Structure 1
Amino acid sequence: MAQIRIRNTNEIIAGEEKVREFLNQYEVIYEHWDTNKLPQELADNFSLSDDQKSAILNIFQSEIQELASRRGYRTWDVITLSEATPNIEELLAKFEQIHTHTEDEIRVIVAGAGTFIIKGTPDTGYFDVNLEPGDLISVPENTPHFFTLTDERKVIAVRLFVEENGWIAHPYEDHSFQKS
């Protein structure tokens, strides 16, 4: 289950309902998928082939179709990041820049873990949403945020897009942001 850390205060918010309640204040959608149906050989493989990525999409086809019909997504894929990913440092540097999108950014963690850092109100500041397998998050359009890996440095995630071109980031300058 996801857990939130508010950076200004180090307050931790845990438990599915408390996490959902906190994120709802920022119009961030939080849901949970059952990842137990993912075969272990896929869940433990952070260097997936295109066929294995397609297999993951097929496994979660009903969840993806339901979400696509509800939210208007037109395309989806699987991304995997780990030490085995070519140019991992360059990719993370790209992801770890505060940015916005003209559509929501939705990810479902199916294996491994990752963290979205999202800008809240001036009182709250930035908060980390630590995601584990099964956690689905949708960061609203035009909300400053970025994604990074946890210390384990491996994740498999399903990404869904409205725009056919996929992930398009718009840099967001924020001199008040401090890395933790």
Structure 2
Amino acid sequence: MAEIRIRNTDDRISGEANVRAFLDQQEVLYEHWNPAKLPTELDNKFVLSDEDKELILTTYSEEIRDLAARRGYHTWDIVALSEATPNLEEVLQKFEQVHTHTEDEVRAITAGRGIFIIKGSDELGYFDVELEAGDVISVPEYKPHFFTLMDNRQIVAVRLFIEKEGWIAHPFEDSSFQKA
């Protein structure tokens, strides 16, 4: 289950209802899919074949299509990152810069753990959303954020897009941002 850390105060928010209520206030969608639906052979597998990726998409087809219909997403795919990912550090550097998008950034975590760092209101500042299998998040268009891996450095996620080009970041300069 997702957990939130407010960077300015180090306060933590946990529990699905509390996380959802906080993220709703920040205009960030949070849902939870059943991680037990995933076939056991994919539970902690982070190097995926095309067949594995298709099996994940098929397993969560109903949830993906429901979310896509509600939010206007047209395409989706799977991203898998781990120490086995070629050029992992370069990939993470691309993600680990505060940026915005002209569409929502959506991730449905199916294995592993990751973290979104999101800019809240001026009073709140930045907050971390720590995600694990089953957590689904949609960061709204134009909301400054970035994504990175947790200490385990492994994640598999479904990504949903409006644009056919997929993930396109626009750098966001913010002198108030400090890496934790």
Same fold? TM cut 0.5: yes
Structure 2, unpaired ranges of 5+:
none
Q: How does 1:28-177 map to 2 (within 5 A)?
A: 28-177=28-177
Distance between the aligned counterparts of 1:108 and 1:22, measured in 2?
A: 19
Q: What is the CA distance between 1:29 and its match in structure 2?
A: 0.4
Q: After the TM superposition, which parts of structure 1 deviate over 6 Å for at least 4 consecutive aligned residues?
A: none
Distance between the aligned counterparts of 1:139 and 1:14, measured in 2?
A: 19
Q: What is the CA distance between 1:40 and its match in structure 2?
A: 1.9
Distance between the aligned counterparts of 1:12 and 1:64, measured in 2?
A: 29
Q: CA RMSD in A?
A: 0.6
| Aligned counterpart, 2:21 | 21
Is 40-49 or 28-37 further displaced after alignment?
A: 40-49
Distance between the aligned counterparts of 1:26 and 1:8, measured in 2?
A: 16
Distance between the aligned counterparts of 1:101 and 1:116, measured in 2?
A: 14
Tell me the TM-score normalized by structure 2. Answer: 0.99
Distance between the aligned counterparts of 1:10 and 1:27, measured in 2?
A: 21
